[in-house]
Amino acid sequence: MLSYWERSSFIHHDLIIVGSGLVGLSTALHYQLAHPKKKVAVIERGLFPSGASTKNAGFVCFGSISELAENARTDSQDELLSLVEKRYKGGLELRQLLGDKHIDYCPVGGYELDFQGDLHERMFTFNDWLRPLFKRPVFSDARDNIPAFSFKQTIVKGLVKNQFEGSIDTGKMMDAFARKAREAGVQFYTQTEVLHYVEQTNGVEVAVSTAEGSLQLFTGQLALCTNAFTKALLPEADLEPGRGMVLVTKPLTWAPPQGTFHYHSGYNYFRNAGNRILLGGARHLDLKGETTTKEGVNALLEEQLIVDLKNFIAPDRPLEIDYAWSGIMAFGEGKAPLLLHPSSRVHAAVRLGGMGVALGTGLGKELAQRLRATTS
């Protein structure tokens, strides 16, 4: 039963955003900053964001050589260049908005491991292609670093460095984002699931489920920032879920390599997280099994990641796996995210792929601008 006060203060909003991941937070913050008097609420079904934004590896990246080459199979050169630009500038935007010290940004560089030994020959083509954007060579030959990183030299035959990539502390980044949104005036409702919505002449009725039961909220505009889970609310959204898993070692007695590392066309990745190694990916080994919105650890992927760790990432080093987790991403035909406007009151910003850290802030800002344009 709702009180008079609850009915007058908590039910009606100007903007409700579903999902408190990076995109939801960016949309909320940018809209609220532009409209300080509007009532903005973010609704999240988890206690924390429970999709990808607090589960990811914290790479601020825009694509390794082999990943960009694979992307070129589905996207044209122009589309790809514009995507690289969005990813790169998106990373800069995130850093500028929250401040490097609040997100522990480290300009450690991005490295691609090369098992064939020919990657450094291909980097010249990619440097030429990216020169209009970066004005300097992006990739450089980093083979000399292989012994210092202690990789198995008979397996890791080459190493290419991307000087424009780095790492963040994902937890600190999401905490800083949420604090900023709260300071701006955004209201948060967690452990609240949006079940469905119905458009009316003067707004949108939003049915939510909470521990106390179900209730209806009302909003002038509704923004779905639900990424992989969007089809439950907007069945026509062109995306499918992709689960990703991550393992972390127990604290190490030796210094792990400092940097963000990729291999197998970006499907696999690892980095140091303090004095641990965090590694993940390998989704390509069971793409069908990982097309799911259910959390869980795929034993096949987990086993392969541990083999890689022991075989060539940290051979002959004492280490133990501490724990694993999963997160859910959203993918589609093209690599660009989707900004959808199914009606003048309902909008969606979704399908961030595996690079939402770089793309999420900009996409949320774009949605907020669009919402502002339609706000009376």
Contacting residues for 108 by C-beta, under 8 A, at least 6 apart: 165, 166, 167, 258, 259, 260, 271
197 binds ligand FAD (CB under 6 A): no
**Which positions from 235 through 264 interact with ligand FAD, judged by CB under 6 A?**
244, 246
**Which positions from 333 through 352 interact with ligand FAD, judged by CB under 6 A?**
352
Q: Which stretch binds ligand FAD (CB under 6 A): 43-51, 75-83, 150-158, 340-348?
A: 43-51
71 binds ligand FAD (CB under 6 A): no
85 binds ligand FAD (CB under 6 A): no
59 binds ligand FAD (CB under 6 A): yes
222 binds ligand FAD (CB under 6 A): no
Shortest spacing between CB 279 and ligand FAD, in angstroms: 11
Q: Number of residues interacting with ligand FAD: please give it, by CB under 6 A.
A: 41
Shortest spacing between CB 36 and ligand FAD, in angstroms: 23
- The residue behind tokens 């290419």 is 160
226 binds ligand FAD (CB under 6 A): yes
166 binds ligand FAD (CB under 6 A): no
Which two structure tokens, joined as six digits, stand for 13?
């909003």
Please report, as a single letter, which amino acid is at residue 291.
T
Alpha helices in the chain (DSSP H): 4-9, 22-34, 65-71, 77-98, 100-103, 119-134, 146-149, 170-184, 299-308, 356-374
Shortest spacing between CB 376 and ligand FAD, in angstroms: 26
Spatial separation of the C-alpha atoms in residues 189 and 39, rounded to whole Å: 13
Pick one of 119, 138, 273, 358: the residue that binds ligand FAD (CB under 6 A): 358
193 binds ligand FAD (CB under 6 A): yes
What SS3 state is found at 80? helix
Q: Which stretch binds ligand FAD (CB under 6 A): 33-41, 50-58, 74-82, 124-132?
A: 50-58
**2: buried, middle or exposed (CB in 10 Å: 19+, 13-18, 0-12)?**
exposed
329 binds ligand FAD (CB under 6 A): yes
225 binds ligand FAD (CB under 6 A): yes
43 binds ligand FAD (CB under 6 A): yes
19 binds ligand FAD (CB under 6 A): yes
* DSSP label at residue 367: H
268 binds ligand FAD (CB under 6 A): no
Shortest spacing between CB 162 and ligand FAD, in angstroms: 13
158 binds ligand FAD (CB under 6 A): no
Answer for the pair 115, 157: CB distance below 8 angstroms, yes or no: yes
Answer for the pair 36, 184: CB distance below 8 angstroms, yes or no: yes
Shortest spacing between CB 212 and ligand FAD, in angstroms: 16
Pick one of 12, 46, 69, 372: the residue that binds ligand FAD (CB under 6 A): 46
The separation between the first and the last C-alpha atoms of the chain, rounded to the nearest angstrom, is: 32
Which two structure tokens, joined as six digits, stand for 325?
């987790």
Q: Sign (positive/negative) of CA torsion 110, 112, 118, 123? A: negative
Contacting residues for 223 by C-beta, under 8 A, at least 6 apart: 15, 16, 17, 18, 24, 27, 347, 348, 349, 367, 371
Nearest to 55 by CA among 359, 305, 357: 357
217 binds ligand FAD (CB under 6 A): no
Binding site for ligand FAD (CB under 6 A): 18-24, 43-46, 49-53, 55-59, 193-194, 225-229, 233, 244, 246, 280, 327, 329, 352, 354-358, 360
